[in-house]
């Protein structure tokens, strides 16, 4: 299950706040599959790692004048393993 998901990660996405890029996760899929099984057990027992619950919120400039605060949007950066696995690539 996890091996298939890791092999189909969208490597064009940015890395999470932990600094791990999806390309690294894809390359290390065999080793990570074992670790993700541990995370799955944590999820099933409702004991979720605190890192999965947190995110870094950054403000990104989007358009027009930089002096106008309305031209900035918040972006939430979360850990890649904590992102939903429900969609397929």
pLDDT in tens, 25-82: 888 888 878 777 877 777 788 776 676 667 788 888 888 888 888 888 988 877 665 5
d(CA 22, CA 1): 17
- 38 burial level (CB within 10 Å; 0-12, 13-18, 19+): exposed
d(CA 77, CA 83): 10
d(CA 76, CA 1): 27
d(CA 35, CA 31): 7
85: confidence class by pLDDT, cuts 50, 70, 90: very low
Mean pLDDT of the chain: 76
pLDDT in tens, 58-67: 888 888 888 8
How far is residue 79 from each of residues 14, 27, 68, measured CA to CA in Å? 10, 17, 30
């Amino acid at each position: 299950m996890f091996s298939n998901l890791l092999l189909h990660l969208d490597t064009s996405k940015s890395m999470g706040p932990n600094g791990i890029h999806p390309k690294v996760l894809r390359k290390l899929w065999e080793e990570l599959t074992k670790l993700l099984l541990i995370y799955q057990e944590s999820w099933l027992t409702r004991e979720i790692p605190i890192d999965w619950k947190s995110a870094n919120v950054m403000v990104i400039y989007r358009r027009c004048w930089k002096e106008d605060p309305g031209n900035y949007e918040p972006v939430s950066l979360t850990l890649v393993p904590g992102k939903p696995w429900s969609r397929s690539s």
